[in-house]
Structure 1
Amino acid sequence: MMYKDILDHLPYKSTFRFVDRLTYLSEDEVKGEFTLRKDAFFYEDHFPGNPVTPGVILTEIMAQIGLVTLGIYLVVRGQGPSGADANLLYPLLTSTEVSFHKMVLPGDTVYVHSQKQYFRFGKLKCMVVMTDSEGRRIAEGIFSGVIKHVNQPVP
């Protein structure tokens, strides 16, 4: 898997990890994808008989691919806090401003492209766009977050 070293640092368990694959990663941008599993926990009640992916889940996918993986990459490459151990870092989303344009259904694959606006003093700000398999825009927004140190590795 491409960029496995970066994916291994994601602090999420399987049911809340929304990154299947990274297809491109540099110090200025990241591209990745995620396929929404039809049996995901959030479809059972949103909405019974007519499941639709909640906006908060789409936002989380955008944040994990578009902000967290890029932040981890920047820290691992030495652009973050000096002497930072990637296993002791914890990314925190501090703000989002997202516009939604289209629904996402169970089984759909979404594609995320994020471009860094800035990264300084441990704060990362990105413009993130999510599209469907035909390149149609699903959502877009500005995401900001910080990289915090924790005292012990995140399990």
Structure 2
Amino acid sequence: MKETYDWILNKLPYSDPFLFVHEMLDINDTMVKGSYRFSPKLDFYQGHFKNDPITPGVILTECCAQIGLVCLGIYLLGQKTKLENFTIGMSSSQMEFLLPVLPGERVRVVSNLIYFRFQKLKCEVQMYNEDSKLICKGVLAGMIGVANE
């Protein structure tokens, strides 16, 4: 039976139209894998290159951060606390974009932990398309912690 990660998805501090996680594929103390399909109906496609829309790099970065940092952070913190009052914020990003993501494409994000200490989480992320071609890669960092526990 496939393990469910609904408890992580239910703790995400996002909702449509700014939720960029559809499925958690795997997670442990040092890595996370998840996926998202970019609906052609998303508003930013209306103006991001007339008649030839692609997904903005900032949105690809956000998708990598939601899966690669936030989901992993929730998993790591959730092993030690109830996560009633957690906070999250990205502190740095360094991304390289190699391929475009078109409306309707499904992407897979893989994130590997660099470190998690003093409430700072830093990960190396990669995003792949359905043909397993590398779309973008980089290093993301954020602050995540639990307030008043």
Normalised by the length of structure 1, the TM-score is 0.90
Q: In the TM superposition, what are the counterparts of 1:64-75 in structure 2 within 5 Å?
A: 64-75=66-77
2:97 counterpart of 1:97: no
| Shift, 1:140, TM fit | 0.3
Unaligned segments of structure 2, at least 5 residues: none
| Shift, 1:48, TM fit | 2.3
Aligned length: 146
- Correspondence for 2:9: 7
Q: 2:113 aligns with which of 111, 116, 127?
A: 116
| Shift, 1:150, TM fit | 5.5
CA shift digits 1:97-132 (9 cap, x unpaired): 000000000000010000001101111000000011
Q: In the TM superposition, what are the counterparts of 1:31-50 in structure 2 within 5 Å?
A: 31-50=33-52
- Correspondence for 1:86: 83
| Shift, 1:68, TM fit | 0.5
* 1:87 to 1:14, Cα distance in 2 relative to 1, 3 A: farther
Contact 1:28-1:116 within 8 A present in 2 as well? yes
More deviation, 1-10/56-65: 1-10
| Shift, 1:85, TM fit | 4.1
2:127 counterpart of 1:125: no
- 1:142 is aligned with what amino acid? V
CA–CA separation in structure 1 for the residues paired with 2:56 and 2:147: 30
Contact 2:83-2:146 within 8 A present in 1 as well? no
Contact 2:26-2:32 within 8 A present in 1 as well? yes
- 1:22 is aligned with what amino acid? M
CA–CA separation in structure 1 for the residues paired with 2:4 and 2:50: 36
CA shift digits 1:40-63 (9 cap, x unpaired): 011011122111100000000000
Contact 1:9-1:87 within 8 A present in 2 as well? no
- Correspondence for 1:29: 31
Normalised by the length of structure 2, the TM-score is 0.93
- Correspondence for 1:81: none
CA–CA separation in structure 1 for the residues paired with 2:147 and 2:43: 29
Alpha-carbon RMSD: 1.4
CA–CA separation in structure 2 for the residues paired with 1:104 and 1:133: 11
Contact 1:92-1:148 within 8 A present in 2 as well? no
